[in-house]
């Protein structure tokens, strides 16, 4: 099948797969993880992550859960909590860690080998992984490759968003969203805020995120402006 010659596609993938320590620890604790890359060293996966939370205690609990997981081999902390200086991290506290684990339990190689190139840090919270990837294929080919990924990894993979580059630019439509704006926007979309009639109210979404309704609406407004390309 011919590849997409218009600049590729950008996808947000909502993923669960078995025996994954990131899903295990984020489901059991209140913190989250940002994944900054996985490398094979001596036959093991070595990934760099930012552990984050609303308080230092949440981050400490998360890191201890990572150490205690039966699916991790070792954990050590980095001097800097973030792999990139401009990384926007949710919450008020964070720690940088490097985790060694079984390469066969990582879904990274299964994605990359099918042409899905990570385009930003992987977000992991509430027992799910959210990958934003770019791929130079048609939509039909993308769905075929995702079906193959599901079968190989026994994974639950939902395509949350597919966008194309803006006309006349090499940038993708959601590049400017902060991590918090993306989290709020995706929750609103998943819960049916943009359906008609609405399946959830702004007040309910704000309660879920433990923020005020005004704060939620401000995050949504900024995300919508960026996604729609308005001034």
**Whether the predicted pLDDT of 5 surpasses 80:** no
Burial of 200 per CB tally in 10 Å (0-12, 13-18, 19+): middle
Same domain as 89, residue 21: yes
pLDDT digits (tens, 9 = 90+) for 157-195: 998 777 764 443 333 345 567 778 888 888 887 787 766
Q: What share of the chain in percent tops pLDDT 70?
A: 84
Within a 13 Å sphere around the CA of 72, how many CA atoms are in the beta-carbon half?
Answer: 21
Q: 191 and 114, same structural domain?
A: no
210 in a structural domain: yes
- Considering the domain architecture, whether residues 124 and 215 belong to the same structural domain is answered as no
pTM confidence score: 0.70
Number of domains into which the chain is organized: 2
Together in a domain, 198 and 133: no
For 117-149, how does the pLDDT look when each residue is reduced to its tens digit (9 = 90+)?
998 899 999 999 999 998 888 888 898 999 999
Residue 138 contacts by C-beta under 8 Å, 6 or more apart in sequence? Answer: 1, 2, 3, 4
Single out the residue in 129, 163, 197 at which a domain terminates. 163
152 with 45, same domain?
A: yes
Enter the tokens of residue 93: 């506290």
Say if residue 130 is in the same domain as residue 214: no
In a domain, 106, yes or no: yes
Q: What is the mean pLDDT of the chain?
A: 84
Same-domain pairing of 83 and 155: yes
Minimal CA–CA distance to 135: which of 118, 115, 121, 150? 115
* DSSP annotation string for 162-182: EE-BPTTSS-BTTTT--HHHH
* Same domain assignment for residues 192 and 153: no
The answer to whether residue 41 sits within a structural domain is: yes
Helix (H) or strand (E) holding 131: strand 128-135
Q: Are residues 40 and 129 in the same domain?
A: yes
pLDDT, residue 167, reads 41
82/45 Cα distance (integer angstroms): 19
Q: In this structure, are 65 and 121 located in the same domain?
A: yes
Domain assignment present for 218: yes
d(CA 21, CA 112): 20
8 Å CB contact between 212 and 206: yes
Confidence bin at 31 (pLDDT 50/70/90): very high
The C-alpha atoms of residue 70 and residue 49 are separated, in whole angstroms, by 18
Share of the chain above pLDDT 90, in %: 49
In a domain, 172, yes or no: no
Provide the residue range defining the domain that includes 25.
9-163
Do 120 and 20 share a domain, yes or no?
A: yes
Q: Decide if 171 is inside a domain.
A: no
In a domain, 168, yes or no: no
219's CB contacts (< 8 A; 6+ apart) are: 180, 181, 184, 185, 211
Clarify whether residues 203 and 106 are in a common domain.
Answer: no
- For residue 48, what pLDDT is reported? 95
pLDDT of residue 200: 84
């Amino acid at each position: 099948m011919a590849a997409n010659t218009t600049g590729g596609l950008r996808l947000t993938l909502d993923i669960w797969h078995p025996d994954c320590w990131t899903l295990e620890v984020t489901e059991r604790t209140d913190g989250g993880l940002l994944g900054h890359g996985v490398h094979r060293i001596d036959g093991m996966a070595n990934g760099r992550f930012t552990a984050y939370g609303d308080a230092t205690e949440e981050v400490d609990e998360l890191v201890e859960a990572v150490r205690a997981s039966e699916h991790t081999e070792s954990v050590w902390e980095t001097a800097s909590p973030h792999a990139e200086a401009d990384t926007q991290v949710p919450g008020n506290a964070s720690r940088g860690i490097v985790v060694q684990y079984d390469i066969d339990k990582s879904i990274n190689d299964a994605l990359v080998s099918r042409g899905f190139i990570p385009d930003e840090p992987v977000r992991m919270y509430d027992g799910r992984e959210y990958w934003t990837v770019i791929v130079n294929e048609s939509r039909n080919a993308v769905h075929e490759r995702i079906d193959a990924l599901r079968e190989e990894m026994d994974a639950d993979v939902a395509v949350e968003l597919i966008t194309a580059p803006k006309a006349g630019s090499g940038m993708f439509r959601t590049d400017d969203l902060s991590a918090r704006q993306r989290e709020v926007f995706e929750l609103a979309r998943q819960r049916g805020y943009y359906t008609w009639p609405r399946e959830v109210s702004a007040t309910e979404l704000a309660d879920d995120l433990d923020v005020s309704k005004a704060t939620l609406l401000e995050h949504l407004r900024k995300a919508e402006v960026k996604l729609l390309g308005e001034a």
